[in-house]
Structure 1
Amino acid sequence: MIRRALGDRYEVISATSAIDALSLLNNRNVSLILLDVTMPEIDGFEFCRTIRKIEKFKEIPVIMLTAKDGLIDRAKGHMAGTNYYLTKPVDRDVLLSTIEKFI
């Protein structure tokens, strides 16, 4: 879905797990991270907290894009260090305008 929605405007790199995502972050220049709460191994909140502790990743904008739309989840996202929190389903234009705010 993300590649289809954004692929005509951005290079979309996807990871299947937090371990893969960390490897990609270490080996690629990334302008923004779209992150779901639901991930194998660790959840998106923990992943965001982890990368925020690493100096070279601290300034990369993180947009949480997830089906979890409760206030508690939004607060967890904020406390984990996300820059913005969007809930699925998200309109393509809303997603694009949100991304453009950060890059």
Structure 2
Amino acid sequence: MGEAQAGPIKVLVIDDSNTIRRSAELFLRQAGFEVILAEDGFDALAKISDHQPRVIFVDIMMPRLDGYQTCALIKQNPQLKSTPVIMLSSKDGVFDRARGRLAGSDRYLTKPFTKEGLIQAVQETVNPSPPST
């Protein structure tokens, strides 16, 4: 029916802010997820093939390779295109959300995020609930 995954769900968090990475890691580990951290898009692309995360959080504003470019590269890879990507941004504008969708993101989460918001985003992305009747 679906892919049976042994062990905890792997989540990759890509953000140039050490504080954001560590906060996300703490929240997600407390909820039982395995967390992989990357400080920019290039670092993330190197780690994705090794760790094969089920969900990827990508900060939009990063040096060298921004979140939009990182998301687009992930989605262009045939082995990764079905991996959900959730954009992280302190901006909550319509333009930013639309640009994230164009890059291929599946969701958008505004910073600062809460523990509940972060965990809910992973759970809803990995196990989408059917529409209620």
Shorter-chain TM-score tier: over 0.9
Equivalent in the alignment of 1:32: 55
What's the counterpart of residue 4 of structure 1? 26
Which is higher, the Rg of structure 1 or of structure 2?
2
Structure 2: which amino acid aligns with 1:55? Answer: P
Once the two structures are superposed, residues 69-98 of structure 1 have per-residue CA deviations (whole angstroms, 9 ceiling, x without a partner) of 111111100111110001011221122112
| Identity value in percent | 36
Q: Which has the higher helix share?
A: 1
Asked whether the 8 Å contact 2:56–2:84 carries over to 1, the reply is: yes
Alignment partner of 2:87: what SS?
strand
- Higher normalized contact order (CA 8 Å, seq sep 6+, divided by chain length): 1
The match for 1:52 is 75
Which residue of the partner structure matches residue 61 of structure 1? 84
Structure 2, unaligned stretches of length 5 or more? 1-22, 127-133
Q: Deviations over 1:14-59 (max 9, x none)?
A: 1112111001011112110011001120110111111111100100
In terms of fraction of residues, the more strand-rich structure is 2
Question: How many Å separate the matches in 2 of 1:67 and 1:84?
Answer: 14
Which of 80, 86, 96 aligns to 2:103? It is 80
TM superposition outliers: structure 1 runs of 4+ over 4 Å: none
Q: Unmatched 5+ residue regions in structure 1? A: none
